[in-house]
Amino acid sequence: MKRSVTIKHLEARNLAAIVICCSLAVFIGIMLAKQYMSFTGLEQGRVVTLKQDLDKRATAVGYFFSERFADLEHIGTTRALKGYFENLALGMSMKYGLRSSLFAAARQLSMLMTSKTIGRDPIYSRLVFITGQGDILIDTLGAPDDFPGFCRRLLTPGEKPRETFWNGSDIVVSVPFYFKETYAGQLVSFLPFDTIDRHLVRQSGGSSGVYGMTAGTDPLLLPDRAPLRLPGTDRITPELFADGDVRTLEGEWHDKADARIIAMRTHIPGTPFYIISLNQTESLSGENIFAIMVAFVLLIGVGIFFIWRAATQKLIYGVRLEASRQSEKHFRDLVEFLPIPVGEYGFDFKIRYANREALAFFGYTRTDIDAGIRITDLIQEADLEKVTGRIAVFEQGENPGPIDVNVRRKDGKKIWGRAIPTLIYENGACTGVRTCFIDMTQRRKSEQASIMAAEQEKYALVGQVAGKMAHDFNNILGAIMGNADLTLMDCQDPEIRKTLRIILEQAKRGNILTRNLVAFAKDQEIKEKYFNINRKMDLVLNLLKKELEGITIIKNYEKSPPELLADPGMIEHTLVNLIHNAIHAMGKTDHPVLGLETRSDGNSLIICIQDNGCGIPKMHAKDIYSPSFSLKGSRDLTKSYLPGTKGTGYGLSNVKKYIDKHKGGISFISSEDRGTRFTITLPLVAKTLLPDEKEGLMKKPVVRKKRILIVEDEPAISMVLEKILTSDPFYHTVRLAEDGTAAIELSDCEPFDLVSLDYMLPGRVNGLDVYTHIRKTNKTMPVLFISGNIRFLESMDVLKASDPHMDHLSKPFENLAYADKINQWLQMAQ
């Protein structure tokens, strides 16, 4: 409906355009007729135009000559020529000195000759200095005897005027030179007429006529190209212009025998020369008028056609464009208000569009997008390769479906999510990707928590079994070992002795296995201390000195690593296990090399242990941290280890458990027969708050100058906590208690606003006892438990339910988390 109305309008417009064009044609016809009627006036106008053109040329040539006068007068003012006359006045002879001055003056004239050009032609063909006595002193042509006839009058003694005159093929410009206000000679320049004629007189102008230059008294020699033939002569004589500067002649012009020719003459200012122009003029005939009319009508007809066509196309295009815009706006609005992040990016990785939710989700603004954010800016480094690989697949027009990816917000916060892509096609070609993003962080955390819970449950079960069995099993092993040992002392039969030794050896192995099992199952509390990791590594190497014999050790320690806050025993056990495994793995290696590396990146301490041993088969990579899993002994199917190498299967599972307890990470890369590299990452805890941490804290209300009791048996930790709380921005007063008894005494004697309480304390009084004692007299004072003990953590929920003024922080923790937690509780208590 809308379309038909538009076409109707289009036809009316078309009709209007045609009517206007026809009117225009009639109007032009009338104008042409009028022009024909006023032909005489037109002719007069043409004469005026030609006259103006001629005047312009004459002015240009006149200016050219005034420049030449200026050139010569300038030379008269330069040091070179004056220097010659200065030295001449001192009486110096040519032989001793004066010739040098003359040489300099001659050089000056030569430089003028070469420097002045018009187009590519030199302006001057010769420069001469003639003394007042009529002698040629300098001649750039070097031929003073060959002086042109008409100019010889300059070679007479006495002063000559400033003048320009014609001398055959040259025009001569002559300027007097004065030294100390006395006439000293004449500077004379020769200008080739042909150069002036070619570049100035005949240069292209508004007319296609013939131009020439004359000295006024001389006849004008017409150029060869002139199409003009005047009856009886080929010369324009000066008498022709005796009664005025414009003449109309009858003559032959090209093939036209009875052409009318306008001859005009203009004086060149400052010279005795004239410029003359000859132009043909002709009348307008009726045929010409008709031809012009037809041409105009055709032109207007073609114009109408193109107007109609352009207008039609524009309207149709406009309708389609508007519909397209409406549609696009509709869908844009839909996408813009979707509650999930949606964006588009091209294969140059640049983000073209992001909806409101996407901007809010990733923390960017529309301006950021316009400035050129790349999709790779949103991806965490670990996943970059995966994402760019996927984009390369998209570029091929294939869509393999959703991809799970780690992204980062503008503020650096990391998010785990799923990107669901669709390909964008434009003109049949795949030009980009439209993707929506689902935040999976919470879901992932839940999954991880479930896995951890299941693992802890498994460990707890194993612990219970191990705890119960260990005592009885060790008793059994003790009896076996004791009796076997006694029998061995008395027995002389070699066969029986051999059997007894096997019994003893296997019983000892059973003992080690039991110990490791108990260590694995036991929920050990972390006892943190600050220590130097390099020294710990060296200590472990010393412990394993004997086993390491014959192995090349390459240490690549960071020179001064930051001190690590961790349980030294657990870390030592970890290192012993990993190095022990490496030694076993290199048992069959010809040139075993053990590489040890420590480094830090500000937030973490990284420990690498590398060997060039048998490696871990890919198929077992996921099992190595499982309890009771081993690749050694009877499970060494590929014979990668030396005979007799045995493992309990609990070494790496314990290592993993220790590292998890420290909130660190462990990973490995391994290649069969080429070796294994284990990398452990442990969080670094500074001994005080960092500047940016302080800055973050200051953004919230900070409670200052309160009294706090810190109960902590580890001096390295209590010192750090005290430092954090007593310095900027808190300035609290802190009292320290190293055990439960001291804590109870202090809490009885002094009032506190908050207690920071370690659960595991030396002696008989533990943290829970201190808490119970405090609550007897103070029900509302905030108590913050610090512990990594699983059993305690399990009981926390029950405690919290009954006491809203207590909280806990799991070890190990970051300083900022501790300071923030204390500040929160003090704020709530106010």
Partner 1 sequence: MARYLWPFFLLTWLFSYPAWGGDLDDVRARGVVRHLGIPYAHFVTGSGDGLDTDIIRLFATSLGLSYVHVPTTWKDAVGDLTGNPMDSRKKVEVKGDLLANGVTILEWRKRFFCFSTPVFPSQIWLIAGADDPVTPIVPGDGLEKDISRVRNKLRGREVTGMARTCLDPGLYGLEAAGASIRYFNGQLNDLAPAVMNKDAQLVLMDAPDALVAIEKWPGRLKVIGPVSDPQHMGVAFRKNTPELKAAFNRFFRKLVADGTYQKLVEKYYPVFPVYYPRFFAGLTGMDSRNNK
| Positions in the binding site for partner 1 (CB under 8 A) | 79, 82-84, 86-87, 89-97, 99-101, 103-104, 107
278: tokens are 């000859």
Q: Which is nearer to partner 1, 81 or 263 (CB)?
A: 81
- We find the least distance from the C-beta atom of residue 142 to partner 1, in angstroms, to be 13
Count of CB atoms situated within 10 Å of the CB of 79: 12
141: tokens are 């042509």
Q: How far apart are CA 789 and CA 329, in angstroms?
A: 59
Q: How far apart are CA 64 and CA 62, in angstroms?
A: 5
- We find the least distance from the C-beta atom of residue 107 to partner 1, in angstroms, to be 7
Q: Which is nearer to partner 1, 97 or 119 (CB)?
A: 97
Q: Which is nearer to partner 1, 92 or 423 (CB)?
A: 92
Residues 6+ apart with CB under 8 A from 221: 212, 235
- We find the least distance from the C-beta atom of residue 182 to partner 1, in angstroms, to be 15
- We find the least distance from the C-beta atom of residue 85 to partner 1, in angstroms, to be 9
- We find the least distance from the C-beta atom of residue 98 to partner 1, in angstroms, to be 8
Element (H, E) at 808: strand 806-810
- We find the least distance from the C-beta atom of residue 381 to partner 1, in angstroms, to be 52
Q: Which is nearer to partner 1, 104 or 799 (CB)?
A: 104
- We find the least distance from the C-beta atom of residue 83 to partner 1, in angstroms, to be 3
- We find the least distance from the C-beta atom of residue 80 to partner 1, in angstroms, to be 9
For residues 767 and 711, the answer to whether their CB atoms sit within 8 Å is yes
Q: Which is nearer to partner 1, 90 or 619 (CB)?
A: 90
479: tokens are 């009896």
For residues 357 and 340, the answer to whether their CB atoms sit within 8 Å is yes
Local structure of residue 544 (DSSP, 8 states): T
Q: Which is nearer to partner 1, 32 or 113 (CB)?
A: 113
In this structure, which amino acid lies at residue 466? A
If you write DSSP's letter for every residue of 512-535 in order, what string do you get? Answer: HHHHHHHHHHS-PPP--EEE-HHH
Count of CB atoms situated within 10 Å of the CB of 352: 15
Which residue's structure tokens are 């996927």? 390
Q: How far apart are CA 566 and CA 756, in angstroms?
A: 19
Q: Which is nearer to partner 1, 103 or 290 (CB)?
A: 103
Q: Which is nearer to partner 1, 79 or 414 (CB)?
A: 79
- We find the least distance from the C-beta atom of residue 72 to partner 1, in angstroms, to be 20
Q: Which is nearer to partner 1, 103 or 425 (CB)?
A: 103
Q: Which is nearer to partner 1, 83 or 595 (CB)?
A: 83
E strand intervals along 242-374:
246-253, 256-267, 274-281, 342-346, 351-354
Q: How far apart are CA 2 and CA 682, in angstroms?
A: 71
For residues 356 and 336, the answer to whether their CB atoms sit within 8 Å is yes
φ, ψ (nearest 5 deg) of residue 350: -75, 135
- We find the least distance from the C-beta atom of residue 90 to partner 1, in angstroms, to be 4
Q: Which is nearer to partner 1, 87 or 435 (CB)?
A: 87
- We find the least distance from the C-beta atom of residue 159 to partner 1, in angstroms, to be 23
Residue 629, exposed/middle/buried by CB under 10 A (0-12, 13-18, 19+)? middle
Q: Which is nearer to partner 1, 91 or 701 (CB)?
A: 91
Element (H, E) at 54: helix 39-77
- We find the least distance from the C-beta atom of residue 113 to partner 1, in angstroms, to be 16
Residue 411, exposed/middle/buried by CB under 10 A (0-12, 13-18, 19+)? exposed
Q: Which residues of 747-772 are buried (b: 16+ CB within 10 A; e: fewer)?
A: beeeebbbbbbbbbbeeebbbbbbbe
